[in-house]
Chain A
Amino acid sequence: GAGVSQTPSNKVTEKGKYVELRCDPISGHTALYWYRQSLGQGPEFLIYFQGTGAADDSGLPNDRFFAVRPEGSVSTLKIQRTERGDSAVYLCASSPTAGPGGYTGELFFGEGSRLTVL
């Protein structure tokens, strides 16, 4: 398909383990976003990439979270020493352009990676 692809769709891990979540954006989309959504809440901003660089990582909760986009396409969100509070759906979104200031509200979301930390 031509949509945003996220893998894995489900990940169950134990507290303290390392996790990688992958996002393959829509071809040609330069902007890529990671959001986190907990049950009953709206998506919470984590990080935004414009091309290969992280233009804004102010939403990453702490230094256990890190994301890369080395070739300006696929992105990986990395979580070290997972905690039970990290359990959520991690959503990736892309957009074809960035608006003024680098952001746009017209995002195309993937189906998410549901992370459960036991």
Chain B
Amino acid sequence: QKEVEQNSGPLSVPEGAIASLNCTYSDRGSQSFFWYRQYSGKSPELIMSIYSNGDKEDGRFTAQLNKASQYVSLLIRDSQPSDSATYLCAAIDSWGKLQFGAGTQVVVTP
């Protein structure tokens, strides 16, 4: 079992709608969580970090963390075609290493 699990998608979202991405993790010792965006053929780029239970908003992005359920999510409001990418969920595990999920591909359709 991978430490960080994500649905691979693709997640098809109409332009202007909300994209909802989910992630679960298996290591209860994980305390820090991150969302990276990766465009096709490009390298990952950090878009959000979250360390405490609850919601964290940054522009059109909202990250949500529930440590009791070992669940992290990312909401993208007012989705734009430029949001089409693979979104990688990542967590720092008990040994301190940043572990990535396989990513969810998001396709925003005009």
Contact = CB atoms under 8 A, between A and B. Distances in A.
Contacts of B101: 42
A108 B92 CA distance: 16
Nearest to B32: A105
B88 A43 contact: yes
Contacts of B100: 35, 42-44
Contact of B98 (A41, A58, A105, A111): A105
B62 interface: no
A85 interface: no
Binding site of A, secondary structure by majority: helix, strand, loop or mixed? loop
Contact of B43 (A44, A59, A103, A110): A110
Contacts, number: 64
A106 B46 contact: yes
A52 B82 CA distance: 39
Interface in B69-107: 88, 90-92, 95-103
25 contacts: A35-B100, A40-B8, A41-B103, A42-B90, A42-B100, A42-B102, A43-B88, A43-B100, A44-B100, A45-B98, A58-B95, A58-B97, A99-B92, A99-B96, A100-B96, A103-B96, A103-B97, A103-B98, A105-B90, A106-B34, A107-B44, A107-B98, A108-B46, A109-B44, A109-B45
